[in-house]
Chains A and B, each alone.
Chain A
Amino acid sequence: MKLQRDIFIKEIIKKMEKDKNIFFLSADFGAAALDELRERFPENFIHCGISEQAMLDVASGLALEKNKVFVYAMAPFLSLRAIEQAKCGAGLMNLPICMISVGIGLGYADAGPTHYANEDFSCFRSVVGSSIYTPADNESTKLIAKEMLEKPKFSYVRLDREHLKDLEPKINQKDYKNGYQILGKIKKQKTAIISHGKILHNCIEAFKNDKNKYILINLFKAKPFPKNLAKDVKKINNFLVVDEQSPSGSLSSCVFEGFSESGFFPKIISSSLPEEYIFDNGGREYLLNKYGLSKKDLLKRAKKFK
């Protein structure tokens, strides 16, 4: 069972064998693959201390000198703590810095709300010039890593802390180019469930027995919003957007704005975490079930269209 972070870092290692201008910066956050990277390429690795802000500034300096730069830390700290550094460096100067953010949503259950990244999506969506990726499996994680190595840009890549199952069918090149994958056949009377990351798997689980009523859309690239999506799903009127984020600015806002830009105005309902900080224990699945993202809750929300 490989974790997304190991898949991503393995791709960087492969590239480092040929490209000496890649730097990997960590704010004291590890991975099995990172141990290999540090051992094999010590000159290309910078331990920045538990200092996400300085890490982003150092990344800016490296990127200004034409290096390919990857910064790596736990999602809640890389995002909200260092967001102004991301704005002033990668944002304002359009620098090709890739931010690898691990442990999105309630990934760090039961660490508690300091460690939850339930606001990072909306925060980074608002930083001008950012691209946002939330892969739901290892295949798309690998493709994202390859893209960031071939065509570096200011990107915020949201990885899960846990191992995520492979999707069936696997994402193909066309899907990757589009920025989304449609699971199921599009029919007018169906409801579309849009999600990304780990919570997409919960949606698959919830809706898999009713393929005549639902299709699922794996929106792994939310920003820039995929141009073709509205055109591909224009037959459908009802969309349930599911995200492991607090409600303000979660994936549903992004979908609404993306569709509106294309002149597409279907009914959109959002399922997300509540507008509160979660202090309960019990593990991630328990919390998702308790806070409105259980299979039962998702089915109930989807039925609201009728």
Chain B
Amino acid sequence: MKINNLEEIAKKYRREMFEKFLLTKTGHPGSIFSMMEIAVSLYHGEFVRLKENKKEFKDKVLISKGHATSTLYPILRDFGIISKKEWDSWGVKKSKLRIFGNTSIPGINITSGSLGHCIGAGAGMAISYKKNNQDNKVYVVISEGELYEGSTWEALLLAKHRNLNNLTIIIDVNSLIILGNTSDCLNLDPIKKKMEGLDIKTLEVDGHNINQLVDALKNTDESNEISCIIAKTVKGKGSSIMENKKNWHYWSPMTDEEINKTRLELK
């Protein structure tokens, strides 16, 4: 695994996703760009392992922030899980791929979109693996906005109580929700203290720094307790038009000039 390569891969995926946004005129670029390095580190950093048949992954990734599940599509394409034909069809003709992922899409392990479900579902998977002495791992990526959902905290209590060290929770903290900054709307900080208050081992990293992400994932993989990674990110990372703008939660129409500028910035 070469870190430089992973950085380049993340850039390439941002470019590819941007072209898909232009084609489909829909999606959640802010949220997808904020978690790109997280997804790339998980898969290309080889934390998520392929089964021997190379046709599916042994470990599970649940994108609880379902509006950003499509971050995984170019990755799954490159691993041969989603066909190139399916990827090429997306936005052009009939395709299984869509903004919110679901289990009919190869490599997507859960149907998500409604927030606050996947820590519980991930805990269920992790319990099943442990009971059957399987060494599969589960990674759940949530948005910080999901910390507003009560079911998130219910599930965290259970996961901690059962010491699910095969479950890693990654919180994408880009500090924005639909109506503005979380600190203004309804403050969530200090998130780290809250997680540690549940006695959950919590690491904090720059969510766009592959080195830090990879180190944190190594640490959680080797841990004998349930772990959480708080990834501090920038919503819309990579595009000056989108970065830290709440209205770029959703796709917004762009002028030709803005499109050209974004293409240049994403190079």
Known: A51-B155, A61-B123. 8 other contacts (CB 8 A): A43-B131, A51-B154, A51-B158, A53-B150, A58-B120, A58-B158, A60-B110, A67-B128
Chain A residue contacts of B154, Cβ below 8 A: 48-49, 51, 53-54
Question: In whole angstroms, what is the CA distance A294 to B99 when docked?
Answer: 54
Q: Is B121's beta carbon under 8 Å from chain A?
A: yes
Our pick among A65, A84, A93 for the contact of B124 (Cβ within 8 Å) is A65
Question: In whole angstroms, what is the CA distance A48 to B124 when docked?
Answer: 11
Our pick among B110, B114, B122, B125 for the contact of A84 (Cβ within 8 Å) is B114
Residues of B within 8 A of A (CB): 102-103, 109-114, 117-129, 131, 150-151, 154-155, 157-158, 162
Q: Which of B103, B120, B157 has most chain A Cβ within 10 Å?
A: B120
B128 near A88 with CB under 8 A, answer no
A58 near B124 with CB under 8 A, answer yes
B124 near A61 with CB under 8 A, answer yes
Q: Considering the complex, give the chain B residue whose CB is closest to the CB of A94.
A: B103
B151 near A54 with CB under 8 A, answer yes
A88 near B111 with CB under 8 A, answer yes
A61 near B111 with CB under 8 A, answer no
B157 near A51 with CB under 8 A, answer yes
Question: In whole angstroms, what is the CA distance A84 to B117 when docked?
Answer: 10
Q: Is A92's beta carbon under 8 Å from chain B?
A: yes
Identify the 9 closest CB pairs spanning chains A and B, nearest first: A61-B124, A57-B120, A54-B154, A51-B154, A61-B121, A65-B128, A58-B124, A62-B124, A53-B151
**What secondary structure prevails in chain A residues at the interface with B?**
helix
Chain A residue contacts of B126, Cβ below 8 A: 61
Question: In whole angstroms, what is the CA distance A257 to B10 when docked?
Answer: 53
Q: Is A206's beta carbon under 8 Å from chain B?
A: no
A92 near B157 with CB under 8 A, answer no
B128 near A93 with CB under 8 A, answer no
Chain B residue contacts of A93, Cβ below 8 A: 102-103, 110-111
Our pick among B109, B112, B120, B150 for the contact of A56 (Cβ within 8 Å) is B120
B150 near A61 with CB under 8 A, answer no
Within 8 A of B (CB), among A40-85: 43-44, 46, 48-49, 51, 53-65, 67, 84-85
B111 near A54 with CB under 8 A, answer no
Chain A residue contacts of B122, Cβ below 8 A: 61
Our pick among B103, B112, B131, B155 for the contact of A54 (Cβ within 8 Å) is B155
B121 near A58 with CB under 8 A, answer yes
A–B Cβ pairs within 8 angstroms, 29 of them: A46-B127, A51-B154, A51-B155, A51-B157, A53-B154, A54-B151, A54-B155, A54-B157, A54-B158, A56-B120, A57-B120, A57-B121, A57-B123, A57-B151, A60-B117, A60-B124, A61-B120, A61-B123, A61-B126, A62-B125, A64-B110, A64-B125, A65-B129, A85-B120, A85-B151, A88-B111, A88-B112, A88-B114, A89-B117
Q: Min CB distance, B2 to chain A, in Å?
A: 34
Question: In whole angstroms, what is the CA distance A23 to B162 when docked?
Answer: 15
Q: Considering the complex, give the chain A residue whose CB is closest to the CB of B123.
A: A58
Q: Considering the complex, give the chain B residue whose CB is closest to the CB of A69.
A: B124
B155 near A58 with CB under 8 A, answer yes
Chain B residue contacts of A46, Cβ below 8 A: 127, 158, 162
Chain A residue contacts of B157, Cβ below 8 A: 49, 51, 54
Q: Min CB distance, B158 to chain A, in Å?
A: 6
Q: Considering the complex, give the chain B residue whose CB is closest to the CB of A88.
A: B114
B127 near A58 with CB under 8 A, answer yes
B120 near A60 with CB under 8 A, answer yes
Chain A residue contacts of B150, Cβ below 8 A: 53
Chain B residue contacts of A44, Cβ below 8 A: 131
Q: Considering the complex, give the chain B residue whose CB is closest to the CB of A64.
A: B125
Within 8 A of B (CB), among A140-190: none
Chain B residue contacts of A64, Cβ below 8 A: 103, 109-110, 121, 124-125
Q: Which of A58, A61, A84 has most chain B Cβ within 10 Å?
A: A61
Chain B residue contacts of A85, Cβ below 8 A: 117, 120, 151
Question: In whole angstroms, what is the CA distance A89 to B128 when docked?
Answer: 17
Chain A residue contacts of B111, Cβ below 8 A: 88, 92-93
Question: In whole angstroms, what is the CA distance A60 to B118 when docked?
Answer: 9
